[in-house]
Structures are given as structure tokens and as C-alpha cells.
Amino acid sequence: MAPSSVSEDERYRTSTQYRLWSFTPASLLELRTTTNRNAANRVREAVWRVREARAAASSGNTSEADGGNSRAVSAVPEGEVDCLSVEEELKLVTHFCRQTLQLGDHLQVPTDVKNWTLEQKLMALQATAVQYIKRFYITNSCMTYDPKTLLKTALFFATKTENHYFRLTKFAEAITATKPEEILASEFLLTQGLRFTFDVRHPFRALEGAVMELQAMANGQIPGGDKLRGMGRRVKEAHGKAREYLKTSALLTDVYFHYTPSQIMMASLLIADRQLISLYLGSKLPPGSANATISAKLMEALDKCAEMLQSLDEQSTADKKELGALAKKLRKCRNPEKIDLVSIQRAKREGDEEVDEKVVKKRKLEREQSAKEGEDLFGPTIKK
Amino acid sequence: MANSPLIVPGATDKGTTSKSIFISKSKLSSAAPETSTTASNALAPVQDMAEQMNEEEKHKYVKGKKLGEGTYANVYLGHLVTSPSTLVAIKKIKIQAAYTEGLAPDAIRELKHLQELSHPNIISLLSVFSSKDQNLNLVLEYLPLGDLEMLIKDTEGVRYGAADIKAWMGMLGRGVWWCHENFVLHRDIKPNNLLIAADGEVKLADFGLARSFSDPYRIMTSNVITRWYRPPELLFGAKHYSGAVDIWSVGLVFAELIIRTPYIAGDSEVQQISLICQAIGTPSEDVWPGVSKLPEYTVPEPPTPVRGKDHYLATFGTAGHEGVDVLMGMLVLDPRKRITAREILEHSWWSSDPKPTKNEDLPRKGGGGAKIGEDLKRRPGVLEDERGAKVARKLDFGGMN
């Protein structure tokens, strides 16, 4: 009757983060490429439709023109549409993820807790929101759904899933120049893009655990720390550095898609103090032939993960100029039919609510009835 | 769609979606193989990949007759398209006019946790899809044999004994252990949230109040768990707590299975505390260091000493000596000293006689589909004041953290 022992790895493999949100770099690129190509096709089609409608409207045939779409019509540029590439989309998404981290700082959270927990609170919130955005844009394109709007929705939704619930109006107030309905309009799209999985596994707790263990080694409470001089101080420094990596690079790069939270944590420590981590890993996997293969395999994975974490440092200088150009390009290739999400959402809701099954049946009967009456070439008798 | 690596089964079937206008067009496009979806076929919009995935899920299931209708959700019987004998329950969450803040927190909690927890003693979430654009449908495993509350209450029709109780408690214990092992607190364990599968397996359901273990220093609401199953720390307003809250509830389910009536059934929080004092003993600094510091700590005078084993044997003796040990471990007042889910499963009770009844030999009551409809359509996570009573359910999402 004793519980079968389930290793941490086995448990992780049951998570949606592993089952649905882990990819090889090649498969991730393939998904993003497909998404980008589909979206580009859709933009061209939508632009074509809007132009057709406009042409029809200007030729006096107003019945075909969609009156409510005037905003979209005016947004359609002339000429061939120049769509974003996969790389360009990725740069934009990264940029907006960065903004999400900054936006989260604006939120006023209740101050009934100590300051450092306040920071942790915000970190979980922002970290989850950023992962939501990154996951969403694997199967959705910036050209279809504007990341500037979606990031607010992601942040709001994260307040619900991470148990930091805000009143929507308060949230919208805290985020300048945002209307509540704008935030809600893409909430459903977001949850669909997330494939209705909301749990994100972060490496933050793992780091705290490893650091506690390292400190215990440094204090001599756990053997193995005597080989390194000034270990206590080094642990403290590595902790700080690793935290920085987890708070930014880990969130903005693709490491969550390719590595487990504990690997990400270890890699961030590895960047901070390689010698320290070698010692730590050595205490877990004592050198010897039995552990040689697994040790080598682990180090290879950690090094690759560390490399990816450090790649952000180079990208981060991605000049404002380039981003400005990308933002401008995006404005010209937005899908004109998906710009006014608030109206689309309203139309869907209003359309849905009343159509329950009985009503549908009744309408069908009425239609059939009128169809019978209408068999006469000139239609049914006019009702008086 | 030709561009997509995703196969979309049924997308060309009958126009079951509301977008029938597009369906007919995509029918045309997919009739011609190798059609590129670009300018050559400009009128058929390519769906977002997310939309395609949703369609794919939706078309795996056939929605059948309605099993139950509630304010929060309707429950339908359904089955797999590819296998009509594989039954499922489809819980369609209604859009709530009264809740204007988007997807409701209880639905979010239920989805978030059920997506992660996969265990024979936890109801399986097989799929999620949206219909008519915005209605969420949760595809759950079909559990046709009702719940433990039905069995407990039917004292005329259902007879069961110590071996049966041991089997049910084992399944409940494993389900709760798996939640805690995955850092999830259920926070609403009670007999009518324990559903029974066709093969007799007991499954923990209703995760509408569940949440992940909190970080240290993060506060949680103490307003969880139906009153009769609520542990003393929550009644005293504790904002930091652990899996021990669920274990207390498990203990009361155990007690109720034996005596076939709720063991500690107060009709107010104050009375609940007073009944706990009588049944278990009065929480004091002696037995529970720190308890008097809890925000709403008040106990009736004079204090009752903590009950000894004899007291439990008198009421719950049919569970045997070791069974009573387990029960007492679950009902320890101080949550830090309460038995854990893992310790429950490691207890020697399981290997002592009688052996737990095999699933196929467990007593059952034919509840039929109506019961799962009743159980699933309830708004998850809303605490009913009195079991079975038709009370208006309060909508309060504000403090539900």
C-alpha cells in the first residue's frame, strides 16, 4: 500500500509544460514558421477582401460593404503587403515580453507582506505572463493579434492563475490608458492559444532550494564544502547573479521550451560560478565510472542551456532603431479584420447568448414555414 | 489548411460549427488535393493554428443527451467519434452574465489543476475545447456510479463493512497523496466530491477551490472547505496552512463512512468549533503551541481534554485498532502533528486484516447518468451551507485567493 516512489523527473513528465510546451529547437522553429506563413496568407486575403469591399462601396453598391468595418477599411494600406518574417516576429515578441516585465512593476500589490515577498509575488506574476505570451505566439502571429494588447491580457490573466487577483477595473487603471473591455476582448483567444493549460513551472523555487543546500555545505552542516575557500560568500554572490538570469534571460529566451526548471536553475548557477557548481554536482554524482556518462550528459545539457541564457546579452542591445522599424512594419501588415477585437468579441457574445437550442429549432420551423409560403415566385404575402 | 502540419479530422464533415459559411468554402478547397491556401483561393480564410487545434479536439467527441443542467454548467453524456462505447461526460461551462471579469476563477482553478494531475483516483480531464467560439467544454471521464455520499446515505439499500471502507479510504488516500505530491491543495474534500467509476474506483473531483501550495509568507484565504469538513486551523482564520487541511477532511469522510452520518455537523462556524471541542478535544497551547495566536481563536469554556483512544474505539471500533489509529492521526488538532497523506499510505493498517475489498466486489448503487450530471454541474468550489439544501449560492470571487 506504500506509495510507489515517483521521481521528480517522472512527475515533471506528467506536467503540461513537458507534455505540450517542450520542443526541440527544430520542431519549435517549424511551428513558428507554419504560424507565420498562415498568418501572412491570412493578412493578404483579408486585405484583398477589404479592398474588394471598398471598391464595391465606392462603386455605389453599399449593401456589400460592411459598415462596421470602416476602421479596418481605413487601416488597409495600398500596394503589396510586406509581411513580417519569423525572425522579425520573434524579435517583436521578445521586445513585448520585456515590456511586460516592466509593466508588471507598475502594479500596486497589497503591502501587507514583507518587501521581499512582494518582489517574489510580482516575479511569479510577470514570469507567468511572459511565458503565456511566448506560448501564445507559437501558434499565433503578431500580424493577427497585436502583442501590445495581448500582453495586458496575459498579465491580467496571470493575476488570476497565480492567485494575485485584481479587480479588472483596478488593473486597467494601474496599466495606463487601457480600457477593461480591451483586456477582456482577447482573454478567450489567449486561453485557446494556451491550449487551456495555465500552469507554468518556474525555476525560482529550485534556486532557493539549491542555495540553501549550498549554504549548508558552506557552513559544514552538509559535508563537501571544505574544498572551496570562502564558499559562503561565493554562494551568496552566485545566488544574486543566478537570480538575475532567471528574472530576465530565462524568461525572454526559449529555455523554458527546451529545458526543465531545474536545468535552467543549474545553468544559471553555472554561469555565475562554474567551480562552485562543479563541486555541488560532484557531491550529487561522485566521480566514478558509474556516474561518468550521466555526468557528462548533464554537463552538456547545462552548457547548452547556459549558452542560450547568455545569448540574450548580445540580443538585448538589439537597437531601438531596428525595433522601431519592425513596429512600423507591423503596423502595415496587421490583419485588418482582427484589429478591432473589442467589437469582434461583442458581436460573438451577443450572437451566442440568445441562441439556445429551442430558439434554433423555433427559428428553423419558422424558416421552413416561410419557405413553404415563399414558394410562390414573388414571395409570401406581405404582412400587414 | 494545406500548409498546416496538423490534421484536422472532421473539419470537412457536416457543418457543425457556427461558421458554416466558411465550412462550405473549405469543403471546396479541400476537395481539390494540394490546393494552396494562398491567393488562388482567396475567399477561404486559413484558421489560426490555435483554432485548428481546437477544431481537432472538438471533432474527437460527439455530444449526446443532457445529464444535468445547472447555473454554472450543463453536463452532457458524450462519446468518442472513433469509439461510440467510450463514454465521456462533457461539462459545458456557461458564460456568466453576473461575472464581468472574464473567465471565472473557479473555472480557471479547475482547469489549471486538472490539466496537471493524472492519477487513477483523480477525475481525468480528457480534453478541453470551445464550442460556438466562446463556450468552454471540459471533457471528463464518465463516472456513472454516483458518489460516496449516496452510498453513505442509503442505509436501507446499501450495506458495507470494514473491508469496503478500507478500500474506499485507500483510493481516497492515494488521490489526496498525489495532489499533495504535486503541491496542490484540494480544499473541498467531502463525500459528494468523491465520485465512483464503473469499475468501482473512487475519484476525487471538483477542483474549483484547489490551489498550489503557497510560497512561504504568502497568505491564503481561510474561507475554504465545506464547514463540516473544515479543520480547526481554518475555523480559527489561519492564513498559512498546508496539506493538513485536506487530511482533516479525509478523517471526517472516514468517520462518516463508519457511522453513516456526518460526524461533526455544526450549523455555524461557532457551533462547528464547539462540536470539534466536544468530539476531539479543545485546542489549547498545551496540545497545539501557537493556536491562541490565530486571528479568530475562541473556544468554549470549560475546555474538554483531548479524547483518548478508548473514546474513538467506542464509536469507530468497527475500523479495528489500527484503523482507529489512522483516524486519530487524521483528526489531530495541531496541523503540524497531523498524519500526512504519505504516512497514511505507509500505515500498517493496510496490511492488517481485513484486506481491502477488490473493486469489483465493492457495494454499489446504480446512480446512472443523472448523478454525475448532478455532481459535475455544481459550480465548482462554491461551498454549500448545508448539504443538499437548495440555498442560493453566493458569488464571491474577491477574496478567493
> For residue A364, what pLDDT is reported?
54
Res. B24: pLDDT tops 50: no
Q: Which residues of B touch A187 (CB under 8 A)?
A: 102-103
Instruction: Choose from B41, B48, B114, B240 for mutation: most chain A CBs within 10 A.
Output: B48
What cell numbers appear for B392 in the block? 442560493
Q: Is residue B183 scored above 70 in pLDDT?
A: yes
| Confidence band, pLDDT 50/70/90 cuts, at residue B227 | very high
CB contact under 8 A, B103 and A160: yes
pLDDT at residue number B46: 57
pLDDT of A373 above 50: no
In this structure, what C-alpha cell is assigned to residue B333? Answer: 488538532
Indicate yes or no: CB of B218 within 8 angstroms of CB of A117.
yes
**Which residues, in sequence order, are CB contacts of A316 under 8 Å at separation 6+?**
none
pLDDT tens track for A328-341: 999 888 888 888 88
Give residue-wise pLDDT tens across range B302-319. 999 999 999 999 999 999
- Cα separation, B91 vs B70, in Å, equals 10
A74 — pLDDT class (breaks 50, 70, 90): low
Question: Do A150 and B59 contact (CB within 8 A), yes or no?
Answer: no
Nearest C-alpha of chain B: how many angstroms from A365? 18
CB neighbours of residue B237 within 10 Å: 14
pLDDT over 90 for what percent of chain A? 43
Please name the helix (run of DSSP H) or strand (run of DSSP E) that holds residue A310, with its range, or none.
helix A289-315
Q: Is B37 on the interface with A (CB under 8 A)?
A: yes
Whole-structure pTM value = 0.82
B57: how many CB neighbours lie within 10 A of its CB?
A: 18
pLDDT digits (tens, 9 = 90+) for B373-400: 777 776 665 554 433 333 333 333 333 3
Residues of chain A in contact with residue B111, where contact means CB-CB under 8 angstroms, are 196-198
User: Of B98, B104, B87, B131, which Cα lies nearest the Cα of A357?
Assistant: B131
Neighbour count for residue A31 (Cβ, 10 Å): 16
Grid cell of B285 as nine digits:
497551547
Q: Which residues of B are annotated as a binding site?
A: 67-75, 91-92
When pLDDT is cut at 50, 70 and 90, the band that residue A118 belongs to is low
Q: Order across the sheet with B87-93: list the strands.
A: B61-69, B73-80, B87-93, B135-141, B125-131
Q: Provide the pLDDT for residue B43.
A: 42
Q: Which of A45, A139, A348 sits opposite B134 (nearest CB)?
A: A348
Query: CB–CB of B254/B168 below 8 Å?
Result: no
Question: What is the number of residues in chain B?
Answer: 401
Q: Cα separation of A295 and A339, whole Å? A: 51
Mutate to test the interface with A, among B26, B43, B101 (most CBs of A within 10 A): B101
Instruction: Give residue A90's identity as a one-letter amino acid code.
Output: L
What is the average pLDDT score of chain A?
A: 81
Question: In the numeric block, which cell numbers belong to residue A219?
Answer: 557552513
What is the pLDDT confidence band of residue B277, given thresholds at 50, 70 and 90? very high
Q: Which amino acid is at A57?
A: A
Task: Please say if the pLDDT value at position B84 is more than 70.
Answer: yes
pLDDT band at A28 (very low <50, low <70, confident <90, very high): very high
Give strand pairing partners of A357. Answer: none
**B53 to A195: CB separation less than 8 angstroms, yes or no:** yes
**Which cell goes with B83?**
469509439
State which residue of chain A sits closest to B211, comparing Cα positions: A163
Mean pLDDT of A102-126: 63
* Residue A101, C-alpha cell as written in the block: 516585465
Task: Give me Rg for the CA atoms of chain A.
Answer: 27
Q: Which residues of B are catalytic?
A: 188
Burial of B40 (0-12, 13-18, 19+ CB in 10 A): exposed
Query: What pLDDT score does B131 carry?
Result: 81
Where residue B40 falls among pLDDT bands split at 50, 70, 90? Answer: very low
The length of chain A is 384
Tell the burial category of A86 from Cβ atoms under 10 Å away from its Cβ (0-12, 13-18, 19+): middle
% of chain A with per-residue pLDDT over 70: 77
With beta carbons under 8 A apart, name residues in chain B contacting A38.
3-4, 37, 46-49
The Cα of B191 is separated from the nearest Cα of chain A by a number of Å equal to 22
CB–CB contact B400 A140 (8 Å): no
For residue B209, give the nearest of B221, B227, B192 by alpha carbon.
B221
Distance of CA B354 to the CA centre of its chain: 29
Contact B108 A156 (CB under 8 A): no
State mean pLDDT over B321-332.
97
Tell me the nearest-neighbour CA distance from B102 into chain A, angstroms: 6
Question: To the nearest 10°, the Cα dihedral for A57, A61, A65, A71?
Answer: 30
SS3 of chain B = CCCCCCCCCCCCCCCCCCCHHHHHHHHHHHHCCCCCCCHHHCCCCCCCHHHHHHHHHHCCEEEEEEEEECCCEEEEEEEECCCCCCEEEEEEECCCCCCCCCCCHHHHHHHHHHHHCCCCCECCEEEEEEECCCEEEEEEECCCCCEHHHHHHCCCCCCCCHHHHHHHHHHHHHHHHHHHHCCEECCCCCHHHEEECCCCCEEECCCCCCEECCCCCCCCCCCCCCHHHCCHHHHCCCCCCCCHHHHHHHHHHHHHHHHCCCCCCCCCHHHHHHHHHHHCCCCCCCCCCCHHHCCCCCCCCCCCCCCCHHHHHHHHHHHHHHHHHHHHHHCCCCCCCCCCHHHHHCCHHHHCCCCCCCHHHCCCCCCHHHHHHHHHHCCCCCCCCCCCCCCCCCCCCCCCC
ipTM for this prediction: 0.81
Residues 148-177 of B with CB under 8 A from A: 170, 174, 177
pLDDT at B383: 54
Helix axes B49-58, A115-139, angle to 10 degrees: 80
The pLDDT tens digits of the residues spanning A231-281 come to 999 999 999 999 999 999 999 999 999 999 999 999 999 999 999 999 999
Question: What is the spatial distance between Cα B175 and Cα A236, in angstroms, rounded to a whole number?
Answer: 40
User: Among B361, B349, B367, which Cα is nearest to B161's?
Assistant: B361
Higher local confidence (pLDDT), B42 or B99: B99
Q: CB B45 to CB A45 under 8 A?
A: yes
Question: Which has the minimum average pLDDT: A180-189, A368-377, B360-369?
Answer: A368-377
B186, burial (CB in 10 Å: exposed 0-12, middle 13-18, buried 19+): buried
CB-nearest to B95 from A1, A163, A353 is A353
In a mutational test of the A interface, the residue from B134, B212, B342 whose CB has the highest number of chain A CBs within 10 Å is B134
Confidence tier at B79 by pLDDT (50, 70, 90): very high
Residues from chain A that touch B37, judged by Cβ atoms under 8 A, are 38, 41
Contacts of B130 in chain A (CB under 8 A): 188, 192
Task: Give the whole-angstrom CA distance, residue B399 versus residue B222.
Answer: 10
pLDDT tens digits along A204-244 = 989 999 999 999 999 888 887 777 888 999 999 999 999 99
CA–CA gap between residue A154 and residue A178 (Å, rounded): 14
C-alpha to C-alpha distance for A207 and A3, rounded to whole angstroms: 27
Q: Residue A32: pLDDT band by 50, 70, 90 thresholds? A: very high
Give the 3-state secondary structure of residue A89.
helix
Contact between A16 and A197 (Cβ < 8 Å): yes
Residue ranges for the known binding site of B for ATP are 67-75, 91-92
